Amino acid sequence: MDEERPPARSPVTAALVASAAVAAGAVLVRAVATRWYPASDDAIILSQVHDVGGSTPLVGVYSRFGWRHPGPWLFYVLAPLYRASGAWPNAALVTTALLNAGSAAAAVRIAWRRRGRRFGVLTGVALLLLCRSFGVTALMDPWNAWVPLLPFTWLLFAAWDLVAGRRWALPIVVGVGSFVVQSHVSYGPVVGALGLWGIGAALRSCPRPRAWAAPALAAAAVGAVLWAPVAVEQMRNDPGNLTLLADFFLHGRTGPLAGVAPTPPIGPVAAAGLLARELVGGPWLGGPEPVALFSVAPLPGWLLVVPVGLLGLLGAGTIRRGERDLTLALATGAVALGAGFVALARTVGDTGDWILRFSWGIAAFLAAVAVEAAIVVVGDRVPRRARMAAARVGPWGAVAAIVVPAALLVGGALRSAQPWADDGAAIETVSDGLDAWLRAHGATTLTILGAGAGSGPVDAGVTYELARRGFDTRVGGIYRGSWPASRRVEASVGAEVVVVTGPDALVAFDGRADVEPVVRFSGGRAPVAAYAVRAGG
């Protein structure tokens, strides 16, 4: 008697797994293809990753308003592979790409478990489209404004899982939500609303409250571990970073060394227009997201009626059909969208693309849920002949829907560059020149100042690169507030070096008698040079 054979794997399932693996592999290949020289904010982030285990950071990345994002777990997540690889900068790109791939896979797993293969595939397609529009460079960029997007999308699915009654989703919601908020505080209101919605709805529907004891203890332990460094910093410093955050968001007061002053909140009308751009304009699907003066151009706010009305109709349909899971998924997306609207209306300063990126996760989540709900609500109203035709064509249509965005993502990996790639040659040349000069003069400690229009990205990269090579590198001048206190100085320490960007600034420094030219790079976006300040200069 023949043994019973397992059912053949669906071509749709195989296409999803293979496409996701190939796309993730393409991003990883791009991450390691060439030696990475981080610049600007990425260089500051890598500097703090480098400090983990020494001057270990207890708070997050600097904000231009003079405080820091709530917590340091972005640095801690990036540190293990970075340390294991011998302080190889590309390790941060690899870790970020793996974090995004893992977050997307976790979201698809929840969708598949709750609703089956069809919804798992819908979620996979939505996330492939999101990743394709997000771009390969952003998918591996450890910038704290980009890193939270895919983990936040995972959080949406985990919050839905929790609302639907899965108790062990609670530690996941606490852990992922904490990481997202610590990385970028703008996610805070949405994450907080999702947490309250998830816990409240789940407890209300649970007939046995004692069943929550073990998940609640696990969640409390996860939260305690993730927020312990923040608590230590708050108790150690006066004022602590949490105090600075509260002063800013409650009273509009900026912190020490703030680079800009806050403007009045943009208000609900502007918030509606920006969300209309993100949801109706569909930039997460590849639609336009025009930016003018660091702010995204809005669409008319009344266009929000379209997606909100559609969600309302689908919600009414799922309620009538007793589709509790789908109703709760739509409600979870609505909670996130409402909290995002309120938070966005209170935004001060620029409304650049990084401020709006949370909406892409909500859009991808709701798109997958809306298509599933539409199939359920109107499926039996479609003529039988049309349903039979769809059943025959559907699997291959699904394969095409998976393969096309994955192929576009792979093509993007072939064309994309690493973050700040245009500044890599300048950072390498200036760092090599300064390294040789410092060793020739027996110097191990130096302060780097920036000067000239466009100063900032390259001198930040040089600061990190020299620190990675073992020099005690400090930062002075107008950019010192961006760096952690361990690398920030008010005056010169040891050799003082000025990294100058732009032709006009170079001409001015070439004519100065108090500086010594060390190295110059004339390629790239702008000429860059380093000068050492002469003794007594």
3-state secondary structure 419-472: CCHHHHHHHHHHHHHHHHHHHHCCCCEEEEEEECCCCCHHHHHHHHHHHHCCCE
Residue 391 has pLDDT above 60, yes or no: no
Residues 400 and 489 both lie in one domain = no
Out of 295-299, 349-353, 478-482, which region has the weakest mean confidence (pLDDT)?
478-482
Give the model's confidence band at 139: pLDDT under 50 very low, under 70 low, under 90 confident, else very high: very high
What average pLDDT does the structure give for the chain?
A: 90
Model confidence band, residue 517 (pLDDT cutoffs 50, 70, 90):
very high
Expressed as residue numbers, the domain containing 107 is 30-415
Q: How many domains does the chain have?
A: 2
Supply the pLDDT for residue 211.
Answer: 80
In terms of pTM, does the model score above 0.75?
Answer: yes
Closest CA relative to residue 501, chosen from 436, 450, 449: 450
Q: Is residue 449 part of a domain?
A: yes
pLDDT given at position 317: 94
Mean pLDDT of 183-188: 96
Report yes or no on 12 lying in a domain: no
Q: Do residue 411 and residue 480 come from a single domain? A: no
The verdict on residue 3 lying in a domain is no
My answer on whether 389 and 480 are in the same domain is: no
How does pLDDT run across 7-19, given as a tens digit for each residue? Answer: 445 777 888 888 8
Q: Are residues 400 and 446 in the same domain?
A: no
pLDDT of residue 521: 94
Determine, yes or no, domain membership for 17: no
Q: Examine residue 20 and state whether it is found in any structural domain, yes or no.
A: no
The yes-or-no verdict on residue 439 having pLDDT over 80 is yes
Q: Residue 528 contacts by C-beta under 8 Å, 6 or more apart in sequence?
A: 426, 429, 430, 458, 499, 500, 501, 520, 521
Q: What is the dihedral of CA 404, 408, 410, 416, to 10 degrees?
A: -170
Beta partners for residue 292, in sequence order: 295
Same domain, 320 and 346: yes
**Could you tell me if 306 and 395 lie in one domain?**
yes
| 359 and 303 assigned to the same domain | yes
Contact 134, 149 (CB under 8 A): yes
Same domain, 225 and 290: yes
Is residue 102 a part of any domain in this protein? yes
Domain membership flag for residue 10 = no
Domain's final residue, options 370, 398, 415:
415
**79: in domain:** yes
485 and 341 housed in the same domain: no
Q: Which of 415, 441, 469 is the last residue of a domain?
A: 415
Q: Given a cut of 80, is residue 254 above it in pLDDT?
A: yes
Task: Let me know whether 312 and 344 are in one domain.
Answer: yes
Last residue of a domain, one of 400, 415, 430: 415
Is the domain of 230 the same as that of 340? yes
Shared-domain flag, residues 456 and 402 = no
Cα–Cα nearest to 261, from 346, 350, 182 = 350
Q: How far apart are CA 375 and CA 125, in angstroms?
A: 16
